[in-house]
Structure 1
Amino acid sequence: MTVADAATNRLRDSLFAGEFVAGEEIKDTQIATAYGIARPTARVAVQQLINEGMLVRPPGFSARVRTFDPAQVRDIYRVRRLIELDAVREIVSTKPPLAGVADALEGFAHLQGGEDDWSRIAAADVAFHTAVVDAAGSPRLQQFFGGITSEIRLLIALLKNQYSGGDALYHEHEALYRLLQGGTPVAEVEASWIVHLDSAERFLAQHLS
């Protein structure tokens, strides 16, 4: 791993942990000083996160943490529903092994939503849904979902003060996992999945209004 890669990962983790607010300025010099690296290296890290859509750099200005509005949230969740519901239908139809989903569910264990746990809660949430998409066995679905997971995690990070903890999220995702294990009609599984995603979308849109 290069110094630039390490700096990129550190800055990305800070964004996912909610250490910056939406619209906050991120200067190359600021990152260079904080991380003890050269300014050109810091610029590479910042540019990588611009490429990933987590930061934006208006012409003539320093980079800033990306902001979202309700319309963007709706668009992200529109794509998310297309991907996840297709994965759910495939899982119910073909009944593939769900060990990866079960392992991801365990990521919620003992998370209470304190300051130290926040980034782990967000990571566990995304890991569970990523594991569901992976279980469907479509590399292209995985690729498409990977294209929006950074946006989803950044959205969650920007709203960390609105969440109350990991216990409720664990039980909610455990119920979804049980539905995938077999025997539940696909229409019922889809309906529960839609309720889950619609609830998250409404929450995010409301608090970004």
Structure 2
Amino acid sequence: MVISQPAEDDGRQAWLRGVAADVARLDRSSSAERAADVLRRSITDGALPPGAQLSEIELTEVLEVSRNTLREAFRLLTHEGLLVYKLHRGVFVPELDERDVVDIYRLRRVLEVDVVRGLADRVPELPASRLEPLQDDIEAAEAAALAGRWPAVGTADLRFHRHLIGLADSARLDEITGRLVAELRLLFHVIATPRELHEPYIARNRRLFELLEARNYQQAADDLHQYLLDSERGLLEAFKAR
């Protein structure tokens, strides 16, 4: 991650190497959007925590873009609320608060619950292949939990919910979800003990998957609504405990 403190150098260099690997796979035709996508994924994966400062010098090198292109990527992410510009200081990853928790979870309930409830009308015979990414995410979370890698459990959980919304087959919803899961990762950083946040939801994700697999969409939607209320409550308590 691009942070100025010397103690963070190892983590910063590891993140920059990851960015460079992503760049090798980029199509250079839309440089600003592609650079923004790499940075957005870095936030979603937890490599860029709240308060991290981004360095133009380092990023132009590893992203292999001009300074103007990088600044355009910064503008795109600032518009999405995933970066903030501080006068005379530079560009930073934002630090969210309780109001953001409430707003983000209001959006989650509108999006996710409606997607699940609407499956009965849109695709009553949902093919098993459409659920495979969700099953993969659950198995990744379970494996990470066994290894005690709780941030990785959080990443798998975010992917699960992204794939859940993806069942709607809506490019616009997918675009909104990309920003949403990045903001959720920023909220997760507040938790001092990530196991307490993520462990209960591994089984709840599997329960949701089983309901979807059984095509019990109404019960899945009802369970998901309560799931999101519980998750919001846990995050708000974590913010108050800071």
| TM bin (shorter chain) | 0.7 to 0.9
Q: How far apart are 1:40 and its partner, in Å?
A: 4.2
Instruction: Give the corresponding residue for 1:194.
Output: 225
Instruction: Give the corresponding residue for 1:103.
Output: 133
Going from structure 1 to structure 2, the CA distance change for 1:43 and 1:144 (only over 3 Å counts) comes to closer
Aligned residues between the structures: 206
| Correspondences of 1:8-87 after superposition (within 5 Å) | 8-32=36-60, 39-87=67-115
Structure 1 residues 37-80: Cα deviation after superposition (integer angstroms, max 9, x where no partner): 75445434433432332111134431111111111111111111
Identity of aligned residues (%): 24
Runs of 4+ in 1 over 6 A off after TM superposition: 33-37, 113-117
TM-score for the superposition, normalised by structure 2: 0.67
Going from structure 1 to structure 2, the CA distance change for 1:9 and 1:82 (only over 3 Å counts) comes to closer
Kindly indicate whether the alpha-carbon contact (under 8 Å) linking 1:92 and 1:182 is maintained by their aligned counterparts in 2: no
| Correspondences of 1:138-157 after superposition (within 5 Å) | 138=170, 140-156=172-188
Instruction: Give the corresponding residue for 2:119.
Output: 91
Any stretches of 5+ residues in structure 2 without a counterpart? 1-26
Going from structure 1 to structure 2, the CA distance change for 1:192 and 1:53 (only over 3 Å counts) comes to same
Q: How far apart are 1:95 and its partner, in Å?
A: 3.8
Q: Which has the higher contact order (CA 8 A, sep 6+)?
A: 1
Q: How far apart are 1:175 and its partner, in Å?
A: 0.4
TM-score for the superposition, normalised by structure 1: 0.76
Question: What is the CA RMSD across the aligned residues, in angstroms?
Answer: 3.4
Instruction: Give the corresponding residue for 2:153.
Output: 121
Q: How far apart are 1:173 and its partner, in Å?
A: 0.7
Any stretches of 5+ residues in structure 1 without a counterpart? none
The range that moved more, 31-40 or 170-179, is 31-40
Give SS of 1:112's match.
helix
